[in-house]
Amino acid sequence: MARALALHAFATTGRSQAALNQLPRKFSAEAGLIRHLARADQRNDYYGALQTISRNLRLMYVHAYQSLVWNTAASSRWKAHGNRVLPGDLVLVSEHPDPHTQTDNNISKVDQDGEPIVAAEPSDRAYTTDEIFTRARAVTESELASSGCKITIFDIVLPTPGYDILYPANDTANIYKEFMASEEGGGLDPYDMRRKWKDVSLSGSYRKLLAKPLGKVDWEIKAYGANGEDEQFVETDAEKLEKAKRGNRARNDKQVEEQMDTASEKEGVVADPAIGNGNTNEEGKSLTSTATTDSVDQEPRNDKIAVILKLQLGSSMYATMALRELMKQGGVKTWKAEYGGVR
């Protein structure tokens, strides 16, 4: 809220200091924009203002825009066609080469040893651009109708907007055009994504529309009660490392203790069980108390259920979408952030 009020104050009054005083210090990017645009000779220098933002954050912004467009296209495509593979859908060339492409090896004759002579072309190189960069192609109707077609919905890719990608050769391309041309999409043309400023000149990429986990999916149902609201069911990597360190220290302590016991036995020293035992008194009697039925607390009732999922996904794939759909079945409400700041 404080961020929004500070930006509104600067946009309506043009007073930078008042806006900066209201803006929380963690919003460094917004502060840089205000300071730059506040100068009289830089009021309209938006390019210079954007350059005050750190490069990593600028790249995060443009990549977030690409993800926004991709998510919109993926949702609309799934809503319209589901898991059907359509003519014009895109697949990766590395996974499904074009069956109609014929290679010409330029073999004209053989040498005296019977080996083929390959005529080199001026454009020949060790690697082609298609081998270096990820390429996609559109699936044809005849290809899908053939009996040997193995293309499934898990092979279909959608592009993030850029100048070095293909858009689907079907109605999915209209989703990109309509959304990016809208006010929410920034009024951009998906076929004109090259810019003089390299940081915002987007080449684009391809992402699978659907993906499967890399291996087995394990799941476990665990019951817990009201006292376990903050209970952690899965160990983090840091906790696993710390647990391993504690185990190593315990083993080392045990080895030292065993070595000391061995040395004591050799010297003829026998430990007195009545000394240093916190559970006995001077007469050697046990001080361990027995719990009465009145002091036994009842165990908390486990009236809630948690599901623990363990799976591995490929690069740039996240389980949040699948988990969201699963939790919808149980009536889980969407979490809403509580924004701090002035009221």
What is the tens place of the pLDDT at every residue in 169-191? 999 999 999 999 999 999 999 99
pTM of the model: 0.66
Print the SS3 string covering 154-168.
Answer: HHEEEEECCCCCCCC
Contact 99, 209 (CB under 8 A): no
Residue 119 has pLDDT above 80, yes or no: no
pLDDT tens for each residue of 127-153: 555 555 789 999 999 999 888 888 999
Q: What is the mean pLDDT of residues 248-262?
A: 79
Band of residue 336 on the pLDDT scale cut at 50, 70, 90: low
Average the pLDDT over 280-308 and give the result: 58
State how far the Cα of 8 lies from the Cα of 200, in Å rounded to an integer.
26
What is 200-226 written as a DSSP string? G----EEEESS---SSPPEEEEEEE-G
Q: What is the mean pLDDT of the chain?
A: 80
Helix axes 55-81, 172-181, angle to 10 degrees: 130
Provide the pLDDT confidence category of residue 339 given band limits of 50, 70 and 90.
low
Checking if the pLDDT of 287 tops 90, the result is no
Q: Taken in order 199, 200, 206, 210, is the CA torsion positive or negative?
A: positive
59-68, 219-228, 259-268: range with lowest mean pLDDT = 259-268
Q: Is the pLDDT of residue 296 over 70?
A: no
Using the Cα atoms of residue 107, residue 111, residue 116 and residue 117 in order, give the sign of their dihedral: negative
> Is-contact 183 129, C-beta < 8 A?
no
Residue range 208-225: average pLDDT? 87
pLDDT of residue 180: 95
Does 58 score more than 70 pLDDT?
A: yes
Q: Over pLDDT 90: what percentage of the chain? A: 27
Per-residue model confidence (pLDDT) at position 322 = 74
Q: Give 275 or 207, the one with higher predicted confidence.
A: 207
Long-range contacts of 176-184 (CB under 8 A, 24+ apart): 176/69, 176/73, 179/69, 179/72, 179/73, 180/69
Q: Region 49-68: what's the mean pLDDT?
A: 91
Of 145, 154, 155, nearest in space to 97 by CA: 155
- 221-244 pLDDT, tens per residue? 888 876 656 677 888 888 889 888
Give the least confident one: 23-32, 74-83, 286-295, 309-318: 286-295
**pLDDT value at 270 more than 60:** no
pLDDT above 70: residue 276: no
The pLDDT score that the predictor gives to residue 343 is: 38
pLDDT (average), residues 107-111 = 60
In angstroms, what CA-CA distances link 245 with 211, 235, 239, 249, 258? 37, 15, 10, 6, 20
State yes or no: pLDDT of 110 exceeds 90.
no
Q: How far lies 306's CA from each of 138, 222, 300, 327, 334, in Å? A: 43, 5, 16, 11, 17
